[in-house]
Structure 1
Amino acid sequence: MRIPKHVGIIPDGNRRWAQNHGMTKEKGYENGLDPGILAYRTCRDMGVEEITFYGFTTDNTKRPSVQTKAFTDACIKAANILYDEGASLLVIGNTKSPMFPKELLPFTERTKGKEGQIKANLLVNYGWHWDLNTLADAENVNKNNIQNHIQSFDISRLDLIIRWGGRRRLSGFLPVQSIYADFYVLDEYWPDFDTSHISQALNWYSTQDVTLGG
């Protein structure tokens, strides 16, 4: 089976899951933590070299404060879980905004991973416009070096993006790195994650004709 080097994870459906279980919307986020570490371990064990999780976007911060606090707290916990696991962790997002949690500042430079672990990126207070805004001031930019001039320059090109929750959109997920990514959608909500979801997605990916535009 052909294994993607870099997998993106869009963990959607947390609020809908909470409502279906008789909870308030914000309760869904804390139930997405265990799925996160399981997804990391499954990808690692299947031979994936890098994984990127969508934490929250600058647009998400427009939601009610009880929800923004819940998903911010969940991102802080997720980062620490990945770090404790030994992942080579990088948190990417607009650190100049008050919505970026100060607890994650130590992870805005990639940590050294433990032996046998892989790269894990977490997008926190991330916005595609923030990511690309340095391009306007950059000189001598061409198609071969554009990634050197964006905020997320240390994140490699994505091979496969998996989205839970049934929605078929990228929602601004790393627009430069996702340019040639295959996109796999699961109807299950993220808190209902099962390791078989990763296997399904990777099996599907291995049947795709990857040409990178050639």
Structure 2
Amino acid sequence: MRIPKHIGIIPDGNRRWALSNSLSKDKGYDHGINPGLEVFKLCQKENIQEVTFYGFTIDNTKRPSDQKIAFTKACIDSVMLLTKEDCEILVLGNTESSCFPKELLPFTKRKKFGSGGIKANFLINYGWEWDLNLLKNADISKKHIQPHLQSKDISRIDLIIRWGGRRRLSGLLPVQSVYSDFYILDNYWPDFKKEDFYDALSWYNEQDITLGG
């Protein structure tokens, strides 16, 4: 089986999951932490080199304060969980905003934990316009965009998996996702099961990778 080098994870459906379980919307995020750890361990097992988790965006911070507090805490807890694993963690996002959790500032340069290995990226207080904002003053060709991105240390994504049924990228790493294959799951992120992951890998294996050629 052809295995992607880099997988992007869009863990959507936390709020809808909460409502479907008679909970307030903010309660859904905490139930999305363990699925993230499960996905990480499956990526490790399958020798995937890099995984990126879409935590929250700058636009997400406009949500009600109880939700903002909940998803920020869930992101912090998710990063801290992976510090106990063998990996190399990078947190990427707008650190100049008060919405960026100060607890994650030490991770804005990639840090190795345990014996290292798989790269684990978290997009926290991320925005695609913020990611690209250095390009407007740069004299560059299309072939040399990457060094001028805020996300320059994140590689091209081979496969993006999105839970929750939405058919959109929501601004996820626009340069790295240009040629990504995009797999959609209708079930909500807190209901994650490992079959989701392996179904996505099987589907990816069947795709014709052309990179525009």
SS in 2 for 1:51: strand
Equivalent residues of 2:9, 2:54 under 8 A apart: yes
Shift of 1:151: 0.1
SS in 1 for 2:207: coil
Shift of 1:117: 3.6
SS in 1 for 2:123: strand
Query: Aligned partners of 1:117, 1:40: CA distance in 2, in Å?
Result: 12
Q: Which residue of 2 aligns with 1:204?
A: 203
Q: What amino acid is aligned across from residue 188 of structure 1 in structure 2?
A: N
Q: Which residue of 1 aligns with 2:155?
A: 156
Q: What amino acid is aligned across from residue 69 of structure 1 in structure 2?
A: I
Q: Which residue of 2 aligns with 1:40?
A: 40
Equivalent residues of 2:84, 2:114 under 8 A apart: no
Q: What amino acid is aligned across from residue 153 of structure 2 in structure 1?
A: D
Q: Does residue 26 in structure 1 map to residue 26 in structure 2? A: yes
Equivalent residues of 2:93, 2:125 under 8 A apart: yes
Equivalent residues of 2:92, 2:123 under 8 A apart: yes
Q: Which residue of 2 aligns with 1:195?
A: 194
Q: Which residue of 2 aligns with 1:170?
A: 169
Equivalent residues of 1:43, 1:198 under 8 A apart: no
What is the correspondence of 1:71-82 to structure 2 with a 5 Å cutoff? 71-82=71-82
SS in 1 for 2:143: coil
Measured on the aligned residues, the alpha-carbon RMSD in Å equals 0.9
Q: What amino acid is aligned across from residue 90 of structure 1 in structure 2?
A: L
Shift of 1:116: 6.3
Shift of 1:47: 1.8
Shift of 1:142: 1.2
Equivalent residues of 2:84, 2:113 under 8 A apart: no
Q: What amino acid is aligned across from residue 146 of structure 1 in structure 2?
A: I
Query: Aligned partners of 1:115, 1:92: CA distance in 2, in Å?
Result: 22
Please give the per-residue CA displacement for 1:91-119, whole angstroms capped at 9, x wherever unaligned. Answer: 00000000000000000000024336410
Query: Aligned partners of 1:144, 1:81: CA distance in 2, in Å?
Result: 37
What is the correspondence of 1:76-155 to structure 2 with a 5 Å cutoff? 76-115=76-115, 117-139=117-139, 141-155=140-154
Query: Aligned partners of 1:145, 1:86: CA distance in 2, in Å?
Result: 32
Equivalent residues of 2:87, 2:115 under 8 A apart: no
Equivalent residues of 2:92, 2:122 under 8 A apart: yes
Q: Which residue of 1 aligns with 2:15?
A: 15
Please give the per-residue CA displacement for 1:6-28, whole angstroms capped at 9, x wherever unaligned. Answer: 00000000000000001000000
Identity score, percent: 62
Unaligned ranges ≥5, structure 1: none
Please give the per-residue CA displacement for 1:48-91, whole angstroms capped at 9, x wherever unaligned. Answer: 10000000000000000000000000010011111221320000
Please give the per-residue CA displacement for 1:121-155, whole angstroms capped at 9, x wherever unaligned. Answer: 0000000000000001112x112210110100000
Q: What amino acid is aligned across from residue 52 of structure 1 in structure 2?
A: T
Equivalent residues of 1:113, 1:119 under 8 A apart: no
Unaligned ranges ≥5, structure 2: none
Q: Which residue of 2 aligns with 1:67?
A: 67
Structure 1 91/116 Cα, relative in aligned 2: closer, same or farther at 3 Å?
A: closer
